[in-house]
Amino acid sequence: MRQLADIPHPEVKITLFSWNGKYLIKLEKGPLEQTYKVSEMDVTSDEEVRSLLDDEFMQAVINRFQLMHQDLQATFERHDIY
């Protein structure tokens, strides 16, 4: 796996990788992580992959992180883990 870029964002750590014919967009916030795979056949360059990270997509990612956090907290509470 080859790291192509760290993409600045005020709320989320974004790293772009190239691996096995795919671009991997890795997004991290605290202990949570989301990874999206985009086939190199579907885009023409890593710049085009970066264009996918528009405001609407990033807001959805941030909302999903909030839901993931809630899900994790809920299961901790169900199992009396704090």
Above 80 in pLDDT, residue 14? Answer: yes
Above 90 in pLDDT, residue 63? Answer: yes
Contacts 24+ apart (CB under 8 A), 68-76: 68/32, 68/34, 69/30, 69/32, 72/32
Mean pLDDT value across residues 35-51? 96
* Residue carrying the six token digits 């709320």: 11
Mean pLDDT value across residues 61-71? 98
Domain ranges of the chain: 2-78
Query: What is the rounded distance in angstroms from the CA atom of residue 17 to the CA atom of residue 5?
Result: 7
Average pLDDT, the chain: 97
Q: Is 18 helix (H, G, I), strand (E, B) or coil?
A: strand
Q: What is the pLDDT of residue 57?
A: 98
Above 80 in pLDDT, residue 82? Answer: no
Mean pLDDT value across residues 52-60? 98
Six-digit token string for 81: 């883990």
